[in-house]
Amino acid sequence: MMPFSTTSATKSQDIILEEKEGVGWITLNRPKALNALNLEMIREMHPQLSKWQDDPAIKTVVVKGSGEKAFCAGGDIMALTGENGTQIQKEFFSEEYKLDNLVGNFRKPYVAILNGIVMGGGVGISVHAQYRVATQNTVFAMPETGIGLVPDVGGAYFLPRLEGSLGMFLGLTGHRLKGRDCLHAGIATHAVHSQNIPDLESAISSNPQNIKTILDEFHHKSSFEVDKGSSLEPHMETINRIFSKPTVEEILRLLKEEKSEFSGKVLKNLGKASPSSLKVGHRQLTQGRHIENLSKCLEMEYRLVMGCCANPDFYEGVRALLVDRDNSPKWSPATLEDVTEEHVDSYFKPLPADQELNL
């Protein structure tokens, strides 16, 4: 039996890293902040994962969130909006994407237990994992267009590879998926009732070399209703037909013509988003379908988020949704019609060679 050890990222123990009986345990430990990732947590998690990947004593890695509300609700966005183009923004996004890339290419079993909210940065350290375990409490979303960003952390890679046009729908609208939806969409590989998570963790500790069999067994005896199918199933024909269109304008036109309760809700969500983010995100996900690997998608997305950091919508979105909470952002440009192709092009232009993210 391996000796128990703990490494804390900060004095406040924002992340807890443990080795026990052949398992590397990562606990995101900011429950009051919904376990949002900050730069210090990323800087502790990345080197530890790299070490575990090469340590023959570690057979598998498990990442989870503390508390009952969230796995990880995203990156610590409030820390990134103090000033345009600051060094902290470059460091945060580049180091976050390097961590996401390591997770996506990890050479050992990596299990993410998605109990509670899973958004933004939490998606990056989970959805690319070999195993993703949803519970009845899981709430998954990519809400970035609502704060003037794009669906990043590898969204360009995994979203276009979901069924039909589901990924484009999720990336543009920020629609929330519950646990059973995540399983049917392929966001999760397994579903386990939250009350069975302690037993699952004990089983992993007892036999870390037999992860798939353990997860399969717990999945099959899960007691929450994954057999009901996805809540989006009745709407998939509409989603595939409309969100496959080549422009955001055409998507909106068809949604207006649909005149259904579902299309009305979708239009309302899109109407809250940054017009620039919608158009940049649409191109991002369209191109991502043809990019061969996660690393290349993350390199593209780094350019996009640097573009977001250099434009006002990101700061206005954070102000309206997270600071003043008036939910009335004043986007610039204010309408889709005002977002020119040249404006969209500017996000995709290569950065100076010494500023590119190279994975």
- State residue 183 phi and psi, 5-degree precision: -65, -50
DSSP string, 49-103: HHHHHH-TT--EEEEEESSSSEEE--B-GGGG-SSTT-HHHHHHHHHHHHHHHHH
Give me the catalytic one of 121, 124, 154, 174: 121
Looking at residue 311, the DSSP 8-state letter turns out to be: S
CA distance 154 to 81: 21
CA distance 343 to 338: 9
The domains found in the chain, sorted by start residue, are 5-350 (3.90.226.10)
The pLDDT, as a whole number, for residue 9 is 40
Residue 148 known to be catalytic: no
Residue 307 known to be catalytic: no
Query: 56-60, 148-152, 228-232, 295-299 — which is least confidently predicted?
Result: 228-232
Give me the catalytic one of 152, 299, 301, 316: 152
More confident residue, 226 or 275: 275
More confident residue, 202 or 7: 202
Whether 70 and 314 have beta carbons less than 8 Å apart is answered as no
CA distance 27 to 70: 12
The pLDDT, as a whole number, for residue 83 is 55
Whether 159 and 285 have beta carbons less than 8 Å apart is answered as yes
Helix (H) or strand (E) holding 110: strand 110-114
Residue 124 known to be catalytic: no
Q: How many CA atoms lie within 13 A of 334 on its CB side?
A: 2
Give me the catalytic one of 22, 65, 74, 75: 75
Q: Quick check: pTM over 0.85?
A: yes
The pLDDT, as a whole number, for residue 98 is 98
Residue 6 has pLDDT above 70, yes or no: no
Interval 328-342 mean pLDDT: 97
Q: Take residue 264 and report the two structure tokens written for it.
A: 């009305």
The pLDDT, as a whole number, for residue 85 is 55
CA distance 47 to 227: 39
* pLDDT digit string, tens, across residues 30-67: 999 999 999 999 999 999 999 999 999 999 999 999 99
Give me the catalytic one of 96, 100, 144, 316: 144
The pLDDT, as a whole number, for residue 11 is 46
- Show Cβ contacts of residue 315 under 8 Å, excluding neighbours closer than 6 positions: 81, 84, 148
The CA-based angle 228-229-232, given to 5 degrees, is 130
Residue 345 known to be catalytic: no
Strands 5-8, 15-20: parallel, antiparallel or unpaired by DSSP? antiparallel
